[in-house]
């Protein structure tokens, strides 16, 4: 009879809102990790903005990219340092030019993985102007388009 007493927790019916880009997901992850280190406990579905992942999901993606040698330790150090500041490196400052390049490169490598997992919203790609010009061409004969 003790085994029959399990009742599942009610999950809110709200849809999870994916992040706009990898930078937003990364900064959210850093804040969540800082809160966890300070003793906060996480329960799925109780956040103000429902997200499609837990903080550890982003860490797992990062770990997999590092183990696959897509990210280097330099990338991770820059991500951690500027993530704790909650500001990306400033490319106009001389001392942050290399950090900006590493930051940008790391996020470019993280984003496709997060998009595939549904954590980050895919970017809309618009066709280049003039690329498919023949599809929009209109032939005129006698003043009327055919």
d(CA 38, CA 18): 26
Say if 130 falls within a structural domain: no
Please tell me the predicted confidence (pLDDT) of residue 92: 95
Say if 27 falls within a structural domain: yes
Say if 29 falls within a structural domain: yes
Please tell me the predicted confidence (pLDDT) of residue 140: 62
Say if 133 falls within a structural domain: no
Instruction: Please spell the DSSP secondary structure of 5-34, one letter per residue.
Output: G--PPPPP-PPP--BSSHHHHHHHHHHHHH
Please tell me the predicted confidence (pLDDT) of residue 39: 79
Name the residue range of residue 96's domain: 22-116
Say if 143 falls within a structural domain: no
Torsion sign (Cα): 28, 30, 33, 37: negative
Please tell me the predicted confidence (pLDDT) of residue 108: 96
Say if 131 falls within a structural domain: no
| Residuewise pLDDT in 10s, the chain (146 residues) | 555 554 444 455 568 889 999 999 999 999 999 988 887 766 655 566 788 888 899 999 999 999 999 999 999 999 999 999 999 999 999 999 999 999 999 999 999 999 999 999 998 776 666 666 666 666 665 655 55
Say if 124 falls within a structural domain: no
Please tell me the predicted confidence (pLDDT) of residue 138: 64
Please tell me the predicted confidence (pLDDT) of residue 84: 95
d(CA 114, CA 109): 10
Please tell me the predicted confidence (pLDDT) of residue 6: 47
Nearest to 108 by CA among 77, 79, 82, 67: 79
Domain count, the chain: 1
Say if 75 falls within a structural domain: yes
Please tell me the predicted confidence (pLDDT) of residue 3: 56
Please tell me the predicted confidence (pLDDT) of residue 76: 97
């Amino acid at each position: 009879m003790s085994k029959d007493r399990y009742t599942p927790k009610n999950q809110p019916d709200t849809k999870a809102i994916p992040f706009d880009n990898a930078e937003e997901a990364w900064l959210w992850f850093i804040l969540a990790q800082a809160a966890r280190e300070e003793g906060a406990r996480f329960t799925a579905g109780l956040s103000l903005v429902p997200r499609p992942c837990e903080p550890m999901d982003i860490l797992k993606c990062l770990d997999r990219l590092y183990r696959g040698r897509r990210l280097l330790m330099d990338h991770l150090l820059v991500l951690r340092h500027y993530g704790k500041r909650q500001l990306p490196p400033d490319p106009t400052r001389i001392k942050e030019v290399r950090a900006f390049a590493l930051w940008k490169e790391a996020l470019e490598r993280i984003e496709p993985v997060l998009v595939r997992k549904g954590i980050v919203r895919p970017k809309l790609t618009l066709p280049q102007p003039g690329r498919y010009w023949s599809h929009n061409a209109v032939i005129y004969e006698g003043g009327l388009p055919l």
